[in-house]
Structure 1
Amino acid sequence: MIKRTLSRLAVTGAAAALIGLTAAAPALAGDEGPLWYGNRGTVTFNDDGDDITVCDKLADGHGVTGYLERLNSSGTGLVWVIKEDDGGDAGCDRSNTGYDMIGNIAHGLAVCWHGTGSCVRSNWYFDE
């Protein structure tokens, strides 16, 4: 009985430690997203090809633009490394820039609606 209880405690402790380590790890890119701009549109990072897919989801006469961005070399501003628009047609648009996301530089997604309002931005993440 005591052996069974100790065994369960050990398993529970190991599981808790694993969850703690996983939660503390930085976000790594696999596919990231989709990042939504309300119900208007999305941007998704595609790890296979290091590109983005942008989808205009609302027939409101305005499209959306998706970005993959990073900090500039001084860390004071943003650099858009991929920009892709979608709107006015059926389906989504996928970028094809040949950009290679470098593993030690943080990147983030942004999606902007062509109407009024600010862009929506993701958390920063790194390539695997």
Structure 2
Amino acid sequence: MVKSLTRIALAGAAIATVLAGTASTAQASEVGTLESNKYLYLTEGRGTMTFIDDGDMFQVCDTKADGHGVEGQLIDDTERQMLYITDGGDAGCDKAGYNVGNSRQYQMKFWWSGGGGTQYSQWFNE
């Protein structure tokens, strides 16, 4: 009986470890980095926000025709808004440039205009 309970406890611990790894992976897919570019993704395929390091361009894309657009913001480490971009109701994505330097830290914020949560990038600079 004790051996059976031990085996059940070990199996439960193994399943919990696998599930914890799966939860981390799902969350990581919402915020990504490729080299020095940064990406934010909204749930249910509603949109993306991208920082393109080569040229310091920020792009937001409304990827779901649901009557609501998407909004993106770049803030600095004093919480001051440096850039604001929206997209929705037209073809293509909207983009704008902002020279990200080394002297400050910056963070991207991205959300769906129809409500819900906001996605945040990690703090970054050049």
- Output the CA distance in 1 between the equivalents of 2:52 and 2:73: 12
Aligned partners of 1:125, 1:91: CA distance in 2, in Å?
Answer: 27
Q: Is the 8 A contact 1:52 1:67 kept in 2?
A: no
C-alpha displacement of 1:108:
1.3
Name the counterpart of 1:48. 54
* CA deviation after TM superposition for structure 1 residue 112, in Å: 1.2
State the partner residue of 2:42: 37
- The aligned counterpart of 1:23 is none
Is the counterpart of residue 58 in structure 1 residue 58 in structure 2?
no
CA distance in 1, matches of 2:73, 2:91: 20
For each residue in 1:29-61, what CA deviation from the matched residue of structure 2 results, as whole angstroms up to 9, or x when unmatched? Answer: 72211x011111111011122220000011100
Give the conservation status (yes or no) of the 8 Å contact 1:43–1:67: no
State whether residues 108 and 122 of structure 1, in contact with CA within 8 Å, keep that contact through their aligned partners in structure 2. Answer: yes
The separation in 1 between residues aligned to 2:112 and 2:82, in whole angstroms, is 19
Q: TM-score w.r.t. structure 1 length?
A: 0.65
Residue number in structure 2 paired with 1:11: none
Structure-2 separation of matches of 1:66 and 1:100: 16
Q: Which 4+ runs in 1 deviate beyond 6 A?
A: none
Residue by residue, what CA displacement relative to the aligned partner does 1:11-44 show, whole Å, maximum 9, x if unpaired? xxxxxxxxxxxxxxxx9x72211x0111111110
Larger RCO (CA within 8 A; separation ≥ 6): 1
State the secondary structure of the residue aligned to 1:67. Answer: strand
* 1:126 partner SS: coil
- Identity over aligned residues, as a percent? 38
Distance 1:80 1:60 in 2: 27
Query: What RMSD over aligned residues (CA atoms) do the two structures have, in Å?
Result: 1.8
Q: 1:119 is matched by which residue type in structure 2?
A: T
TM-score of the aligned structures, taking structure 2 as reference length: 0.66
